[in-house]
Amino acid sequence: MSKALRDKVREIPQAQLRQMEAGASIAMLELSASFRKHVNDSLRDMFTLMRDPQPEDEAWRARLHELARGLQGMGGSFDYGLLILIGEVMCQTVKDLEQSNQRALQRRLAAYAVALDAVIKVDLKGDGGANGKALLDVLKIEAPVS
């Protein structure tokens, strides 16, 4: 299929790859600090929004969606699978809110925000093991195959 693509690369000693990996480990430490800051800022903004819910306000919904989506995206970097999953469900719930302004949906959104915060505070990486499963059970979110 891609001979032209294969021809663009050449093999180099494995030692060089190991060197790159070592460099990546250092970069990951720096990125981890940036990740924490981004996530904490997003959670702070999310809680600010949730304190004064305005589900009929399009701008309010858009901002909440943006924050949930941001957290969903960031989950893919440092193995916070639950951020991805809960963020995704939260995005969908914000969209559902467009159709009907139900108190139940608002309560669910508040629960998702608390759950996202808990994932970071308790440092639930990957699927979170038994704690992650318990969290998803409480939120009534089905754990996917990953």
Q: Interface residues with another protein (CB under 8 A)?
A: 1-2, 5-17, 20-21, 23-25, 27-28, 31, 34-35, 38, 69-70, 72-81, 84-85, 88, 144-146
CB of 129 to another protein, least distance (A): 16
Is 127:136 a contact under the CB 8 Å cutoff? no
Length reported for the chain = 146
Mutual angle of helices 103-121 and 14-51, in 10-degree steps: 140
CB of 36 to another protein, least distance (A): 11
Residues near 32 by beta carbon (within 8 Å), at least 6 away in sequence:
78
DSSP class of residue 28 equals H
User: With respect to another protein, which residue has the nearer C-beta, 38 or 106?
Assistant: 38
CA atoms within 13 A on the CB side of 115: 31
User: With respect to another protein, which residue has the nearer C-beta, 28 or 56?
Assistant: 28
User: With respect to another protein, which residue has the nearer C-beta, 55 or 87?
Assistant: 87
CB of 139 to another protein, least distance (A): 16
CB of 39 to another protein, least distance (A): 9
